[in-house]
Amino acid sequence: MQPDPGKNRLVYFDNAATSWPKPAGMIEAMGDYSGMIGGSPGRSGHRRSLDAGRIIMETREALAELFGCDDSLRIAFTKNATEALNMALQGLLHPGDHVIASGMEHNSVMRPLRFLETQGVQISVVSCSGEGLLNPGDVRAAIGPRTRLLVVAHASNVTGTIQPIAALGQIAREHGFLFCLDAAQTAGVLPIHVAEMAIDLLAFSGHKSLFGPQGTGGLYIREGIERQLRPLTMGGTGSRSEFETQPDFMPDKYESGTPNAIGLAGLGAGVRFVLAEGIDAIRRKEEALTERFLNGLASMNGVTMYGPPDAASRTAAVSFDIAGVSPSEAALELDERFGILCRPGLHCAPAAHRTIGTFPQGTIRFGFGYFNTEEEISIGLEAIRSIAPGA
């Protein structure tokens, strides 16, 4: 196929960073909020303020339904998964505590952990296989007398590798430490049930597979954990205003300052879209697109794919490289010649790239999403074939 710049068509393969396009309802919800609501939620009793609060409450309820959480007030909103993970890690871990992480973690986990290490927190990073898979037996072997927390990315943002989280949650429960799941790559695309999977803390981002806007995310906190989790930020909550001390209840303890209400209006519409389409249908489509792409890549000489070879063991984020072409050169060519938007480099996850052997050069990542088509996968494969010298 010859590239046709005249069509000016873009193929968006950067959904693992931010999903695009968004459902029509998400854009409408944000427009409606901006045009018709505008009040400060939870800050006064007038109708616009209450309407703003109701919209945020509906977003919380939709997320609680998606994550199998009985009480929507167990979810505190944040600006993204990074902030939620920082809240969990910095709020929970004290000098002398021991924390276990996998060798596939994003810097949203590794950077706070490396900081906490300088404060006296002990860290074990459990190695994963070359495909990025964490063996629960290796996690057991890393447990120590002061293990307080296990933190794991549900799926890698580099290779898409899905971790055996039910087994990991079980290990944490058996040994009496907490399990924090980083669901940045999976919320909205893989089933997550906080009770059934023994998840104590669940960090999610709103702008990826939940189809919200950037600047939205949150942390689910299992009942009782708020008593040991210090908030990162304190301030006005609209509640208990007569006291100068931070409220001790959910979600106010972790939601100081006026929230991103317009963003949460959009996130609510995004989550309702996910609930209406169904996680299974979303997963089936993304898995089929990924499988098509993996099959196409497998037949190309000089192209190396990383992570599990079968689509069922991974999400729709696929890392690969082309012999003789650096990831950044390839990405530029894909953009300029073919209108394909992807992400090259280390994807903020140097640990994961070390695990799969692509540090420091990184890889090219195609992050497929629910709105991509088979035709776009074919365009992607053709483009790679024309860039790869040996294919």
Partner 1 sequence: MMETPPYAVFLFPSVSHVLKAEKILKARGTPHKLIPVPRHIGSDCGVCLRVAAEEQEAAAAALQGKVIWERTVLL
Window 247-286: contact mask with partner 1 (x via CB under 8 A)? x-x-xx----------------------------------
Which among 371, 14, 365, 26 has a CA at the least distance from the CA of 206? Answer: 26
CB of 286 to partner 1, least distance (A): 32
Q: Which of 22, 60, 154, 353 binds partner 1 (CB under 8 A)?
A: 60
Among 56, 153, 197, 303, binds partner 1 (CB under 8 A): 56
- Tokens representing 296 are 């196409």
Residues forming beta bridges with residue 125, ordered by sequence position: 101
Quick check: 238 binds partner 1 (CB under 8 A)? Answer: yes
Quick one: 97 or 226, whose CB is closer to partner 1?
A: 226
Q: Is residue 239 at the binding interface for partner 1, with CB under 8 A as the rule?
A: yes
d(CA 325, CA 85): 35
Q: Does 226 bind partner 1 (CB under 8 A)?
A: no
Using CB under 8 A as the binding rule, whether residue 72 contacts partner 1 is answered as: yes
Q: Is 45 in the site for partner 1 (CB under 8 A)?
A: yes
H helical segments located in 146-225: 165-175
Q: Which amino acid is at 136?
A: P
Residue 231 binds partner 1 (CB under 8 A):
no
Residues in contact with partner 1, total (CB under 8 A)? Answer: 25
- Asked if residues 146 and 97 have their Cβ atoms less than 8 Å apart, the reply is yes
CA distance 80 to 203: 8
Considering the complex, state which of residue 23 and residue 42 has its C-beta at the smaller distance from partner 1: 42
Closest CA to 14 of 212, 272, 208: 208
Out of 23, 42, 103, 213, name the contact with partner 1 by CB under 8 A. 42
Residue 36 DSSP code: I
User: Residue 43 interacts with partner 1 (CB under 8 A)?
Assistant: yes
Is residue 28 within the footprint of partner 1 (CB under 8 A)? no
Residue 47: count other Cβ atoms within 10 Å of its Cβ.
10
- Cα separation of 9 and 373, whole Å? 13
CB of 196 to partner 1, least distance (A): 20
CB of 242 to partner 1, least distance (A): 5
Q: Which is nearer to partner 1, 104 or 264 (CB)?
A: 264
Q: Does 61 bind partner 1 (CB under 8 A)?
A: yes
Q: Among residues 328, 355, 361, which one has the least CA distance to residue 104?
A: 355
Q: What's the closest the beta carbon of residue 58 comes to partner 1, in angstroms?
A: 8
Give CA–CA dist 241/166, Å, rounded. Answer: 41
Rule CB under 8 A: is residue 218 a binding residue for partner 1? no
* Window of 2-10, 16-24, 45-53, 202-210 that interacts with partner 1 by CB under 8 A: 45-53
Answer whether 152's CB lies under 8 Å from 174's CB: no
What is the number of other CB atoms lying within 10 angstroms of the CB of residue 233?
12
d(C-alpha 369, C-alpha 318), whole Å: 12
Binding interface with partner 1 (CB under 8 A):
41-45, 50, 53-54, 56-57, 60-61, 71-73, 237-242, 247, 249, 251-252
